[in-house]
Amino acid sequence: MPAPEFIIRIQGPQAAEAAAELSQVIEEEFGQAPARRTETAVPPDPENPHRAIDPLAVDLVKTVLLSLPVALMAYMDLADRIEKRRKAGRVVDAASGRAGVEATVTLPDGTTIAFRDVDPNRLIDAARESAGK
């Protein structure tokens, strides 16, 4: 069974730039860069969803997925939790602070939350629960 992880989904015209910045923050704060995967999709034609669209004629919807093992946030004592809350807060700020980009996090239990609504303590608690701590 794969290790539990947080999946961070970043969508928008500047998704690649936002993901690069967020990856850097995660690596600086937790000492490990997240795994990264890019998806590109052609948006549907709102007037005729069954019609094929020329992907060269439209702006593609770009999505970058970052995955981060929950173990990076799971193990801690009280002093460590205070420091991890600061680190998780920096990740939340970096993920939610860019205009024109929508960032969400999928917790190991399958819950998806917009980063603008994430409390850093919730990330830490989800990590601890997933790790059985």
3-state secondary structure of 82: helix
Looking at the chain, the number of H-run helices and the number of E-run strands are: 4, 5
Q: Indicate whether this model's pTM tops 0.95.
A: no
Give all strands of the β-sheet with 102-106 in edge-to-edge order. Answer: 35-41, 61-69, 5-11, 102-106, 112-114
Residue ranges of domains in the chain:
23-42+57-130
Could you list the pLDDT tens digit for every one of the 133 residues in the chain?
A: 567 788 888 888 788 888 888 889 888 888 888 888 887 665 555 676 665 555 554 455 578 888 877 776 665 566 777 888 888 888 888 888 777 788 888 888 888 888 888 888 888 888 777 766 5
Query: What confidence score (pLDDT) does residue 107 get?
Result: 81
Query: What confidence score (pLDDT) does residue 70 get?
Result: 74
